[in-house]
Structure 1
């Protein structure tokens, strides 16, 4: 995501559409009864926890995924060479006990944990690591589609066929407990990116047996192999048991052979409930034991009812995107600055964001390296905005303002309320707003990516703690969703970001990112940073030991549930 990693990049699969249709046909009452029976059946040591998921996962092979609901499930099943320290975005050992790199940052040696087995009994060792990376690097056909291999393409670049340069070069296994990864250049992303769910270690035996790479394009969708639908196999504290599409429940069971401390729960159920209000009602009725992203307006009532409401540290950004491809006025810095001055961000945060949200001055929070405290600020100044529009020769500017429906994101809990507030601010300075709303997965993201919006609401939850994961993802190529290629500085900005990411000296790299942040706000302003919002997660009083993650990457290994 991770991030919340980002569902916006995926083409919907035929399998996913069938699953969603099945969920929509099931009444809330029958779901509650089903969840209760599952809880009773799963009694005994550890018990069963049922968590309300906001949507159906795309599939269960994280390499081909980019949506948070897939990662929520696979994160419990699979592990990476590195992980993230609970409650933080800091890297810590996971399947690798330690690592070191060469002075030029291009060779990384990982010392692997011994005695670890995949759920099917296959040994985890250096050969398994190299076979996983070979599988990722040698994707062909549909496997190279950005909608499938999004995280590989965003972080590693190209594939073995050489059509596009790749960060990855090769992997070698000098002995069973040592894996060596060779890169084509130094990068600030290493080893952090190896903690992303997409790069989890999966059983080579299971991937071969169930033809994990046999994904086929079918129109604008994909047909996934048996591995991705029913046989995901990792080393994690939970094993995949089943996905019942008829009632939208995913069942995981405790991995009794886990190499570390075993999960306290015997079973972990994810119940797909797309409507946030229904999730709240199901928690109140006892049909589920927790859910994510509760409405900020409900937090007090949830607490008063005795529930555990935990607020994550804000590790995200909401921004007003500006597309420069089609509207020449938006290529003028004065016009983009006018938009920034027009928005009353203090009031926006106070009225439309949850407790603890703060106004954003740049495109990532101050906990990320390279944050520059001395960037240009754009306080609410309608008179200055009108003056800049007049100087640019567009005092009566008209803009197509896109905002999404049928979605709630960690950084954007109330899209319509946020849109209404910003639209009113823009009208105050003489801008005519043409509102266009579409469902998040029903045209909104496609239209934004295809430059149909003049301005739009979007954001990002960090996947890991580096500047490149934020501004490198947003502006790292001139052919981005802001279409900065239309400006003379688009390629220059992308080159600056590539240079900073490749700088092996940490102090120098920090200075480079600080300068980029200053220029982003003063000279480029490809978007307007709005807010950092702390998303909440809620569980019933029966649930203990859940550690909230700023990456929205909670793991349920430490969670227990008590009887009442």
Structure 2
């Protein structure tokens, strides 16, 4: 089959970040002397983020703020339709799969250059894929190469604790602008996964020159890069190019005038980390920034009532959950995990903290995604039932347990993590538990703690990267992970079968069966699906919210800001 335009398989974006605080004072939408012919309009747009990027290298991050920034400077073989999840051409103009689904041939776009002037060609594409496949040492840590491991699995030389089986077999540059990606098995979600920002193509010259693969692993917080590529020299092919990055203050990008496609309409794009929700709103009202994401639900009425501001809604495509790590007894006992599920007053949290923009989640899939089960085991808030289960498990009450939550961050599925934690801790303390809080800055500390398996119970969530169940339940539960701490071969096999199945109806049935298994096994407790909102100055035009949270700023213009 030859696919050159839209493939209705799907694809969407993720969740996480690090921040030193940072206020937004001192930066406004500046006039520039750009003539507008290259991009149209010119000017500087300042966007308030909830945290700094961790590092500007898609292969080494899993958090939303990093991916948002990387998405402006880098491109993959395929991308998503504006505001949707259909797959469209990007650096590949067309692609064709072999009859057995094991070989995918991509025709690479000609005339594209990286920001350092190096040409894009088939060899550059294969260099990137082979780089990821040949990660060694610290780069095989899941806190570094999380997405490679969840999509493609193992490495060329897997080290102890790394996955051994790989979906990826090889990349062949069969001509200057033709690439063949060879897989070890057919995958129904492979093409959608290629739309992920994590698999965007970087300049081979810059990767090598600036130590992209240099880094260490901290025992508590995971991977930390030590080279300068991802903080000072990221080089892609996108409509914006890197200018500077001062952690805790700003990331500056400028329009790339040699971009192969439609040039960016603004001259300069600045991301400012402002961790506090109220401070982001105040910065917008004062004109210090022109937009921000993750609007607090209770602030929407205030923004809508200001004629100088506007609210944009992002389609719902996420899940917030309480994760449970089974590597520590007695959390490996399903009755204890069921007790936790009954002890969480999810309805109260959704009613009090989401201002009508959330619904209680009972599955790890969004309700509109295929594979969502009609019926699963549900756990309504029931303190007495929680106590009964703890007694049946032989656990003395109150059961002391550490509950982790992040600080200095807002996510679409948890605008204020501390409030969610406090409410859940209170309901658990009424249900036979004695909760000990453990807080840490979102990234890299909190994400690293979770990924390294150092949080018994924790708050986290997910915004979809592409519209396939594999990107939700497959990402979480298809293989052993330190964050969850379990080895359930029945569940792994069911999700493997569902990913490989090519018949649509059969796939739906397999994912429904998997969701029932997950609900009974209780690896964690999903509690909310939300419809996030963004806020902008009224003079900002063209911003197109996406269900995956990764929107191009190149199409945005400033009209009278």
Give the TM-score normalised by the residue count of structure 2: 0.87
1:40 aligns with 2:31: yes
Which runs of structure 2 are paired with 1:258-273 in the superposition (5 Å)?
Answer: 258-273=259-274
1:477 match: 479
Q: Secondary structure at the match of 2:546?
A: coil
Q: Does 1:516 align with 2:514?
A: yes
Aligned-residue offset at 1:474: 1.7
> Where do residues 223-262 of structure 1 align in structure 2 (5 Å cutoff)?
223-244=225-246, 248-262=249-263
Equivalent residues in 2 for 1:190-339, closer than 5 Å = 190-208=190-208, 210-217=209-216, 222-244=224-246, 248-306=249-307, 307-328=309-330, 330-339=331-340
**How many angstroms does 1:79 deviate by?**
0.7
Q: In 1, distance between residues paired with 2:146 and 2:383?
A: 40
Task: Indicate conservation of the 8 Å contact 2:80/2:195, yes or no.
Answer: yes
Q: Is contact 1:105-1:504 (8 Å) kept?
A: no
Going from structure 1 to structure 2, the CA distance change for 1:56 and 1:450 (only over 3 Å counts) comes to closer
Distance 1:74 1:445 in 2: 19
Report how far residue 80 of structure 1 moved. 0.6
CA distance in 2, matches of 1:455, 1:271: 31
Q: Distance in 2 between matches of 1:60 and 1:348?
A: 34
Indicate the residue corresponding to 2:554 in structure 1: 557
Verify: 1:495 aligned to 2:493, yes or no: yes
Conserved 8 A contact 2:357-2:532: no
CA distance in structure 1 between the partners assigned to 2:444 and 2:179 by the alignment:
43
What is the CA-CA distance between 1:384 and the residue it aligns to? 4.2
Preserved contact between residue 141 and residue 217 of structure 2 (Cα < 8 Å): no
For the aligned residue pairs, the C-alpha RMSD in angstroms reads 2.8
> Is it true that 1:378 corresponds to 2:342 in the alignment?
no
Cα 1:149/1:326, change in 2 over 3 Å? closer
Residue deviations 1:73-109 (CA, integer Å, cap 9, x gap): 2211111111111222332221222222223221111
Aligned residue in 1 for 2:167: 167
Structure 2 residue matching 1:557: 3-state secondary structure: helix
Deviations 1:185-227 (A, max 9, x none): 122321111111121112234434x244451438666454343
Q: 1:446 to 1:67 in 2, by over 3 A?
A: closer
Instruction: Provide the residue aligned with 2:39 in structure 1.
Output: none
2:436 & 2:138 partners in 1: Cα distance?
A: 37
Q: Match of 2:533?
A: 536
Aligned to 1:146: 142
Residue of structure 1 equivalent to 2:68: 72
**3-state SS of paired residue (1:317):** strand
Which of 406, 413, 422 is residue 411 of structure 1 equivalent to? 413
Evaluate the alpha carbon distance shift between residue 253 and residue 323 of structure 1 in structure 2; reply closer, same or farther with a 3 A threshold: closer
Give the SS at the match of 2:368. coil
Aligned counterpart in structure 2 of residue 121 of structure 1, from 117, 120, 124? 117
Q: 1:504 to 1:449 in 2, by over 3 A?
A: same
Residue equivalent to 1:16: none
Deviation sequence 1:532-559 (CA, Å, 0-9, x none)? 1222211111101101111111111210
Deviates more, 1:297-306 or 1:123-132: 123-132
Q: 1:84 to 1:375 in 2, by over 3 A?
A: same
Secondary structure in structure 2 of the residue aligned to 1:109 = strand
Report the Cα distance in structure 1 between the residues aligned to 2:458 and 2:144, rounded to whole angstroms. 25
Q: Secondary structure at the match of 2:528?
A: strand
Where 1:468 maps in the other structure, the secondary structure is helix
Normalized per residue, which structure has more helix? Answer: 1
How many residue pairs get aligned? The number is 537
Q: Does residue 1:358 correspond to 2:368, yes or no?
A: no
Q: Which residue of 2 aligns with 1:55?
A: 51
Q: What are structure 2's unaligned runs of at least 5 residues?
A: 1-10, 37-41
Q: Does 1:456 align with 2:461?
A: no
Moved more, 222-231 or 256-265: 222-231
State the TM-score, normalizing by the size of structure 1: 0.87
**Pair 1:62–1:455, CA change in 2 (3 A):** closer
Equivalent residue for 2:3?
none
Aligned position for 2:7: none
Q: 1:344 to 1:267 in 2, by over 3 A?
A: same
C-alpha separation in 1, matches of 2:267 and 2:304: 27
**Separation in structure 2 between the aligned mates of residue 456 and residue 151 of structure 1, nearest angstrom:** 20
C-alpha distance 300-49 of structure 1, shift in aligned 2 (>3 A): same
Going from structure 1 to structure 2, the CA distance change for 1:396 and 1:162 (only over 3 Å counts) comes to: closer
Does the C-alpha gap of structure 1 residues 222 and 478 become closer, same or farther in structure 2, counting only changes over 3 Å?
Answer: closer
Q: Deviation string for 1:272-314 (max 9, x for gaps)? A: 3333332222111111111121222212112212312112122
- How far apart are residue 446 of structure 1 and its match? 4.9
Gaps of 5+ in 1: 13-19
